Amino acid sequence: MPSFLTNLFNAVFGSPASARTRGTSRTSRATSTSTMRGLEILEERDDGTVMFDLNGAFYVSGRRSPNGRFLVGAVDGHQEGDRLKSGKVVLVDLNEGTTCFRKSLKRANNPWVSDDGLVTVENWLDWGGPLGGEVVAFHPSGERAWKRRYKANVYGTHLAQDGRHLLISTCNSDHAPHSGKTWLVDASTGTDVWCRDGFGAVRFEGSTPVIGTEGDRQSPTNEFFPLDGSGQAPAAFEAAQQAASDRRNRGQPWWVLGKVNDALKEEVSVEHLEGLLPLLDEMEREHELDDKTQAKACRARGEIAERAGDLRAAYTWWSRALELDPKVGIKRRHSALGKKLGG
């Protein structure tokens, strides 16, 4: 999984810490011991996940059902000498004080459990082989309810509070049908409700699927929009997403020059164009630009000056651009403008 996607899923999907891509938990809420024999709760994390020990078996990622009755836990597979030891997923009924089931999975991670004991868990499958992953669901009896396999790593899952639906996201891969997608599936059957492009920015608020504007683990989302019955975002999301992107990228040379050049191609007012000059100032102040990038900035300043009717300033800026990069693309316009001014 790409390293730049390390932290939004914990904020967006509530994913626990683990070895492949997830970091350690942020802080511990409390440490307590359960009254169930053989069960010791070691850590309750702020993201809702639980670390516990069950009869000497350690489960690093676990969750309680919303009603508090069930506790599910998982531990990733690991290497022991020359052997690859499979991971495990376990379900405990806290009301009854019993273990419902314990299952082996190659790389069990990020389990969820509903109020009626339905468990979903990711099985990553990418240990030295081609990209691939599974999401598996179990009834509280331990009988498998369904399994979905992907030719892509599983990015994360999120179970609705009412337990009716599950969100599944996959990472990018060479298999287009499974690459960088998010599915909403019926949690009891594993069948599709909808599928959309993109991953990491969709989560549940309660039992409503919503999409966040950032889509970056390094910058947790803080503005969410509900998705419709086919997984489509409202028009307001696109505007908010663009605004969020502009906030993240403001000052970057490629973003500033793109904004300015797009405006120069359109029929916008001189006041609008001149309002972009502070962006060029900010870019030049905050970045050490190479000659070609600086030449593009000078060309843009010259074009704005030309549109404003200040031909002398335009000629000066274009002269500077050509000094920095003779191939900046304004040689003929510069020459024509020089003749016009000389005449």
CATH number, domain containing residue 278: 1.25.40
Same-domain status, 221 and 264: no
Q: Is residue 200 part of a domain?
A: yes
What's the CATH number where 116 sits? 2.40.128.630
How far, in Å, CA of 51 to CA of 297, rounded? 54
How far, in Å, CA of 234 to CA of 117, rounded? 34
218-229: b or e for each residue (b if 16 or more CB lie within 10 Å)?
A: eeebeebbebee
pLDDT in tens, 7-18: 333 433 444 333
**Mean pLDDT across 52-57:** 92
Same-domain status, 258 and 217: no
Q: Is residue 193 part of a domain?
A: yes
How far, in Å, CA of 48 to CA of 62, rounded? 9
Q: Is the pLDDT of residue 263 over 90?
A: yes
Least confident window among 30-34, 181-185, 228-232 = 30-34
Q: Quote the domain boundaries for residue 338.
A: 250-342
Q: Is residue 34 part of a domain?
A: yes
Same-domain status, 124 and 273: no
Can you give the pLDDT at residue 223?
Answer: 82
Q: Is residue 241 part of a domain?
A: no
Number of domain units in the chain? 2
Same-domain status, 255 and 115: no
pLDDT in tens, 82-123: 787 889 999 999 999 999 999 999 999 999 999 999 999 999
Dihedral angle over CA of 239, 241, 246, 247, nearest 10: 120
Same-domain status, 21 and 114: yes
Q: Is the pLDDT of residue 280 over 60?
A: yes
Can you give the pLDDT at residue 243?
Answer: 78
Task: Tell me the pLDDT of the chain averaged across its residues.
Answer: 86
End position of a domain, from candidates 168, 200, 233: 233
Same-domain status, 222 and 274: no
Q: Whole-angstrom distance between the N-terminal and C-terminal Cα of the chain?
A: 63
Give this prediction's pTM: 0.69
Same-domain status, 308 and 166: no
